[in-house]
Chain A
Amino acid sequence: MTRVLIVGAGPAGIRAAEVLVAAGLRPVVVDEGARAGGQIYRRPTDGFKRPPRTLYGSEAGKAVQLHETFDGFVCDGQVDYHPRCSVLGLQDGVAQVLGPDGVFAVPYDRLILAPGATDRLAPVPGWQMAGVFSLGAAQIALKSQGVALGRQIVLAGSGPLLTLVASQLISAGATVAAVLDTAPWGAQIRGGFDMALARPGVTLRGLRLRAGLGRRYRAGVTLTGIEGDGTSPAAVTWRDTRGRAHRTACDTVALGWHLRAETALADLAGAEFAWSDIWAQWLPRTDAAGRAQDGVYLAGDGMSILGADGAEIAGRLAARACLADLGHHVDVAAQNRDLGRKRRMGRFAKGIATAFPWPAEMVRALPEDAILCRCEGITAGDLRRTLTLSGPEVNRAKSLSRVGMGRCQGRYCQIAGAEVTAAQVGCGPATVGRLRAQPPVRPAPLGVIAAAADKPE
Chain B
Amino acid sequence: MSHSVTPEEGRVQRLAETDRPTLAFTFEGRAMAGLEGDTVLTAVLAAATHLRNAEFGPERRAGFCLMGACQDCWLWQENGPRLRACSTLLQEGMRLRAAPPDSWPAP
Chain A residues closer than 8 Å to B55, beta-carbon distance: 376
Kindly count the residue-residue contacts between A and B in the assembled complex, taking CB atoms under 8 Å apart. Answer: 161
Q: Which residue of B lies closest to A262 (CB)?
A: B69
> 19 A–B contact pairs at CB < 8 A?
A34-B89, A50-B16, A129-B59, A130-B49, A130-B59, A130-B62, A133-B64, A134-B66, A137-B66, A145-B37, A147-B14, A173-B15, A231-B5, A231-B49, A232-B11, A371-B57, A376-B55, A407-B71, A445-B82
A84 proximity list for chain B (CB < 8 A): 87
List the one stretch of A39-47, A270-278, A291-299, A391-399 in contact with chain B.
A39-47
Asked, given contacts A39-B67, A119-B65, A149-B11, whether A172 binds B16 with beta carbons under 8 Å apart, the answer is yes
A174 and B17 alpha carbons, distance in the complex (Å): 14
Most B CB atoms within 10 A — which of A49, A84, A146, A231?
A146
Rounded to whole angstroms, the CA-CA distance of A232 and B9 in the bound complex is 13
**Given A44-B37, A150-B5: A49 in contact with B71 (beta carbons within 8 A):** no
Interface of B is mostly: loop
Within 8 A of A (CB), among B48-77: 49-51, 54-72
**Residues A130 and B60 in contact, CB atoms below 8 Å apart:** yes
Instruction: Provide the residues of chain B in CB contact with A49, threshold 8 Å.
Output: 17
B87 surroundings in chain A (CB, below 8 A): 32, 34, 84
Size of the chain B interface, CB-CB below 8 angstroms? 47
| Of the residues A48, A131, A378, contact of B5 by C-beta under 8 Å | A131
Number of chain A residues whose Cβ lies closer than 8 Å to a Cβ of chain B: 61
Q: CB of B103 within 8 A of chain A?
A: no
B1:A249 contact, CB within 8 angstroms: yes
A196 at the interface (CB under 8 A from B): no
Partner of B66, one of A132, A133, A151, A412: A133
Q: Which residues of A have CB within 8 Å of B64?
A: 132-134, 137, 374, 412
Chain B residues whose C-beta falls within 8 Å of the C-beta of A131 in the assembled complex: 5, 11, 49-50, 62
Evaluate whether A408 and B70 lie within 8 angstroms (CB atoms) in the complex, with A44-B37, A47-B37, A232-B4 already known. Answer: yes
Q: What string of 1s and 0s marks CB contacts (under 8 Å) between A133-160 and chain B?
A: 1101100111001111111100000000
- In the complex the two chains form, is A249's CB within 8 Å of B2's CB? yes
The residue from B11, B14, B15, B36 contacting A47, defined by CB atoms under 8 A apart: B36
Separation of A132 and B42 alpha carbons in the complex (Å): 15
| B49 and A377 contact, CB distance less than 8 A | no
